[in-house]
Amino acid sequence: MVRVYKQIFPYVHKQLNQWRKKAETIPNTELKTQALASIQHKTFHCEGGGIYSLLARENWREAVRFIVAYQTISDYLDNLCDRSTSMDPEDFRMLHASMTDALNPGNELKDYYYYREDKNDGGYLHSLVLTCQEVLRDASPYSFAQPYTSKLGYLYNDLQVHKHVQEEERIPRLKGWFEHYQQECPNLEWYEFSACTGSTLGIFCLVSYSLSGEMTEELAEQVMCSYFPYMQGLHILLDYYIDQQEDEEEGDLNFCSYYEHEELMRDRFVYFVKQTNLSVKSLPHAAFHEMIREGLVGLYLADHKVKRISHAKSFVKALLRASGKKATFFYYNSKMYNRLRSIQS
């Protein structure tokens, strides 16, 4: 935690500040607004992802560069799709081709704004993609991880397309999509599977191991099986949990709303915690991955938005109990960190 707060987080903020300065020069007003908003309101996504840079050992700075750039693409495009007047799946697919290209150093850049009127970002999105490609090009064992980062990337892109189309099309598309993967994930509901595809943690883990020089074909497969579906699902379900009130006000899709009642949702979150803990035990540095799981629970439940959710106290108590003492440590640690940061700002 000392390394995270004194070394990783400051470097994450340094990278984000560079991207903020780049975003401030975007000529198109709408693109500039969404780029700046995504950095301002979703900094903690990059902070959380940045912890994976510890796995990259001496190349942790390169890992942070990739993680911040890739997560910034994700958050920026999420804003563009959420707040856009466009409901065109081709537009969403083309935008997210940038995330595919970011994971494949040999891919050429495209006109990612091809299907929309707002186009001139002054090279902002291209710069983010090129930064990711540059880092991966120098990570020689990345070829072992690439098939798995690509699969996770494709699943992520599919989710973004299906969940941002016309409101009446979203659920049928997501359910139909899940049918193709139901045999792979028989213990999940369609909305839980959707949540599992919406995380970038597996990609960050694979890239960080690649930068450490430790990546092998066996390790890449281990990470994939350990992170998908449960670790990633826990991550995004927690993300949706704290955003329930905000999403209801904005009219955005929230997967937590599809649980029949509060008790079922709580039980399923506990199930995801337990399955995640089982799935990461076979990984090298198992204690690190268990810490990530505990940190996720503590970090998200400590968010100020939780206060606005009905029955949150009993939910938080149950999840912390299932997650263990370290999760409780992260919970109080995160609350203190958030309080200090709000005072400083």
The predicted-structure confidence for 239-268, as pLDDT tens digits, reads as follows 999 999 888 887 788 999 999 999 999 999
Looking at residues 94-99, what average pLDDT do you find?
98
pLDDT in tens, 16-74: 999 999 999 999 999 999 999 999 988 889 998 999 999 999 999 999 999 999 999 99
pLDDT value of position 85:
65
pLDDT the model gives residue 56: 97
Quick check: 345 pLDDT over 70?
no
At 339, the pLDDT band (50, 70, 90 cuts) reads: confident
For residues 269-276, give the mean pLDDT. 96
pLDDT at 296: 92
What's the pLDDT at 337?
76
Please give the structure tokens belonging to residue 106: 């040999």
Rounded to 5 degrees, φ, ψ at 251 are 75, 25
- Mean pLDDT across 89-106: 97
Cα torsion angle, 197, 38, 66, 332, sign: negative
- Map tokens 């560069």 to a residue: 65
Question: Nearest to residue 333, comparing CAs of 304, 302, 296?
Answer: 302
CB-based burial, 270-281: b 16+ in 10 Å, e otherwise: ebbbebbbebbe
CB 221 within 8 A of CB 148: yes
pLDDT band at 299 (very low <50, low <70, confident <90, very high): confident
Whole-model pTM above 0.75? yes
C-alpha pair distances (Å), 174 with each of 84, 164, 221, 234, 243: 20, 11, 26, 19, 20
Nearest by Cα to 72 from 21, 5, 1, 138: 21
What does the alpha-carbon distance between residue 314 and residue 326 come to, in Å, rounded to a whole number?
Answer: 19
Long-range contacts (CB closer than 8 Å, 24 or more residues apart) made by 240-245: 240/195, 241/269, 241/300, 241/309, 241/315, 242/300, 242/301, 242/303, 242/305, 242/306, 242/309, 243/305, 244/309, 245/305, 245/308, 245/309
pLDDT tens per residue across span 121-150: 999 999 999 999 999 999 989 999 999 999
pLDDT digit string, tens, across residues 177-206: 999 999 999 999 999 999 999 999 999 999
